[in-house]
Amino acid sequence: MKFGSRLFAPRPFTTVLTIAVIVALVSLGRWQLRRADGARALYEAFDKGADATRVIDLQTQRLPRYQHIEAQGSYDQARQILIDNMTDLNGRAGYFVITPFALQGGGWVLVSRGWIPLGPSRADRPAIPVAADPRRIRGRADNLPSPGIRMGVPAALAPPFPVVASFPSQSDVARLLNESQWTSATDSILLDPAEADGYVRNWAPPGFPPVRHVGYAVQWFGLALALAVIYVVTNFRRTEGARMIERSAHD
């Protein structure tokens, strides 16, 4: 393809490689935009959840994630779980403290009482006392923490308590506690920061906020555009006639 005194003559291998890389970069940008949409939905649900408080019991049907809820009952201090590999906002290692809560009228729900730092070693499990007196608690409906990719089959949870677990499911905890009656309202309750007997509770949707994903998408699209420009510029060559004219001018 000729443009004036220059010929656009890319090599086949260079063209195929460039197209493949541009397609990959654009795909990564679109993937980040989809992640931004997912993060935006979570943040909107988190904001919307505070609009009203629902009282739950054993019969309550599934509620939207982050719905603000209230429950009456009592904590089971003797059978608590420490979810390992949790970090605070500063990246410090620690645990989420998960305490079974016996609902008034029957049934159970798990309560995340917050984050607690790792002790001098993993062999030293932190003390996590809580009174078993009847009480009313408030928090948000949420899922238990889950890994991005679950590798293999996790080992069954077993005493002594508090049990240290890595990303247990609600069914894992139910088998550990040998309890079959669980409310369908939520897998767990994120205890409100104002509630007593909690630890660090900077609750927020998991992952990056939407604007971060959009920023990453712009970077991927920008790299694709830059590669396309480099490809075009580096594959324009002077025609033989243009070279002869240039040599004659120098002579």
Provide the residue type at 85 as one letter.
Answer: N
Distance, in Å, from the CA atom of 153 to the CA atom of 148, rounded to the nearest integer, reads 15
Distance, in Å, from the CA atom of 55 to the CA atom of 169, rounded to the nearest integer, reads 24
DSSP sequence for 125-140: PPP-----S-EEEEEE
φ/ψ of 96, rounded to 5, equals: -95, 135
Instruction: Compute the C-alpha angle 31/170/136, nearest 5°.
Output: 110
The tokens for 170 are 């609600």
Q: How many CB atoms sit inside 10 A of residue 25's CB?
A: 20
Total-model pTM: 0.79
pLDDT per residue, tens digit, the chain (251 aa), is 555 556 777 888 989 999 999 999 999 999 999 999 999 998 898 888 888 899 999 999 999 999 999 999 999 999 999 999 898 888 889 999 999 999 999 999 999 999 999 888 778 889 999 999 999 999 999 999 987 777 667 778 899 999 999 999 999 999 999 999 999 999 999 999 999 999 999 998 888 889 999 999 999 999 999 999 998 888 877 655 545 445 555 55
User: For residue 10, what is the enclosing H or E element?
Assistant: none
Virtual CA dihedral for 108, 113, 115, 117, nearest 10 degrees?
A: -100
The tokens for 66 are 């982050």
Query: 65-100: per-residue pLDDT in tens?
Result: 999 999 999 999 999 999 998 988 888 899 999 999
